[in-house]
Amino acid sequence: MIVYTITAQGTPQGCHAFKNGSDITFKLSVSDMACQNIWFYIGNDERVIMGREVPVNAASDGFFASVTLNTAELGAPDGLYFCHFEFMSNGKRYYTAFDNNENCYLTEHYVNEIQLLVYNEKYETPNWINGGVVYQIFPDRFARGGKSVRRPDGVYNDDWENGVPEHPTRVGEAFPNNTHFGGTLYGVVEKLDYLEKLGVNCIYLNPIFEAYSCHKYDTADFLSVDRSFGGDEALQLLIDKAHERGIKIVLDGVFNHVGNDSIYFDAYGKYGNGACSNPDSPYFNWFTFHNYPHTYESWWGITNLPKILRCESYIRFITEEVIPKYMKMGIDGWRLDVVDELEGDVLQRIVAAVKSYKSDAIVVGEVWEDASNKIAYNERKAYFRGAQLDSVTNYPIKNAIVDFVKYGDGSRFAETISALYRHYPPHKLAGLFNYLGSHDTERIATVLGGVPETELEYSQLATTRMPSDVREQTKELIKQAYLLLAALPGVPCIFYGDEIAMEGYRDPFNRRTFPESGFNDEMVDFFAMVNDIRRNEPLFTAERLVVTQKANGVVKLARVIGDKSLLIYANMSDKVYEGALDVKCVDLISGAEYTDKVIVPAKNVKILKTEE
């Protein structure tokens, strides 16, 4: 048996992210082997920082060794590090190595190391996000209302209830994507009663700045809210009315590209002083032209999205004009689009600008992988080292939950949540935006119950719907998936309409209009109940997480504060699960009490609270 532990006082057991100044103890225990010499090594991407021979301690069935170091010995206030033990036994050298679940094993050749993160916190992650619920809104499709001005360059579809989003005829084909359905920020204001009932304490808005398209990721003017959404006046009203109810507002910051039809690029000569229409433009240095003005760097090769260079005048524009304007209006934070494309020092300046106006504003980055160790654009990202992000979007857990609920793959789910727990600082874990779906993914209802996209012609994606009996079964699966999501560290982020099982394949079919009436209130009531329980139970903010079972389609988790626990049983097998209990528990959803065992039906999640 081999046990490798990394611990520090004040850090939850099993977490490998440590505050600067911590004394960290590394311990290796090995059974059924003798040891003559043992060494400990720790380093970063560039070099081995420390190599140290440590004393061998004999045990009745083997040996153990430990080393304690303070983070100051690593030579920097923060960083990502990797470490391992090596030892000699009967003339052979052995190395510690780790599987996908970071369980330790021995090998006679160097294979890999275990990761640890040291952070030096510059800003305090806002407490209001912990235990909250985020609601993501695609403004053109959520609700109509109030005053708006139709864009003269836009196409409008007035069939709110049944209209099909504009789409190409085949994958990869360019299309204008400027068909609007007329949703406004005034409409969001009129839905605040609904959102408050749902238990939402934060609204995250997809882009709202002036732009040609319906999705607004092609910014035309950062300093103006799109007139079709109601303009600056509508945003200010939404901020004020939401704050009266204790609801925060987070905007989408798309700071790595703009639209070609924008003040800054001006491909069509509409504005007169953009980089594409005037080589003497103050914005010219924001872009890279290969053959002026026809060919230029664009975001992922999409020519209507010219890519922004690393440019001092642009960085100052964002940090000294754009961010201050909306922070002064009262917004509560930003979600940064494709944050990987922002260099570390640029990201730090953006975060500093946000925090200078509101210390408890939140800055969340769009990241699709493990954010603690990501490398992108030849840079090891430092998102969680203390001067950058409060947290990130949690697509890894979204993918793991989908596979678990749909296929019963409990191992992947358990490995994913365990890895994030080990790698992320506890306060970053608490602020994760946990998704079942977003504007960039298929709707969760379609994923769980629809015909697989690969079995359909592209033309069928717009119109294919589930039969009514399948839809009812899918609603139950969504409930269980949401209950599991809500039980995990982080905050649920509901993509508008997932709480009523809206259907939709890939973009743009996942961005349909939210129905004005006639949807299933029973599902909304379930989501609201879960959110209410979550808001009022402190154990949902517990830092300590333990995965105790992950076999045969069943995963059991515990969230622990002191001697109190939440026991989370997720049974995604096709059989009833029975588990023994050694403590009295109460089911937080049904109120039922359990003493000696718990029974979990197939495709069901139960959350029990221990009573002692």
- Torsion (CA) 147, 151, 152, 153 in degrees, nearest 10: -170
Backbone phi and psi for residue 503, each to the nearest 5 degrees, phi listed first: -105, 160
H or E stretch at 486: helix 468-487
Q: Can you say whether residue 508 is alpha, beta or left, with left for phi > 0 and alpha for psi between -120 and 50 degrees?
A: alpha
Omega prior to 452 cis, within 30 of 0: no
The string of DSSP letters for 311-380 reads -HHHHHHIIIIIHHHHHHHT--EEEETTGGGS-HHHHHHHHHHHHHH-TT-EEEE--SS-TTS-EETTEE
- Angle between helix 468-487 and 395-407 (nearest 10): 130
Residue whose pair of structure tokens reads 């039969």 in the numeric block: 467
State the Cα angle at 34 between 28 and 38, rounded to 5°: 50
From 366, 409, 415, 442, active-site residue: 366
Is the Cα torsion angle 459, 461, 467, 470 positive or negative in sign?
positive
CB under 8 Å to 121, separation ≥6 — which residues?
19, 20, 386
| The pair of three-digit structure tokens given for residue 357, joined into one six-digit string | 């106006």
If 0-12 CB within 10 Å is exposed, 13-18 middle and 19+ buried, where does residue 538 land? exposed
* Cα–Cα distance, 222 to 211 (Å, whole number): 9
If 0-12 CB within 10 Å is exposed, 13-18 middle and 19+ buried, where does residue 324 land? middle
For residue 184, give the nearest of 140, 232, 121, 125 by alpha carbon.
140
* Amino acid identity for residue 538 in this structure: P
* Amino acid identity for residue 499 in this structure: E
Q: State the pairing for strand pair 604-610/37-43.
A: unpaired
* Cα–Cα distance, 259 to 312 (Å, whole number): 20
366 is catalytic: yes
From 78, 210, 232, 337, active-site residue: 337
First to last CA, the chain: 33
* Cα–Cα distance, 63 to 303 (Å, whole number): 63
53 is catalytic: no
Active site residues: 337, 366
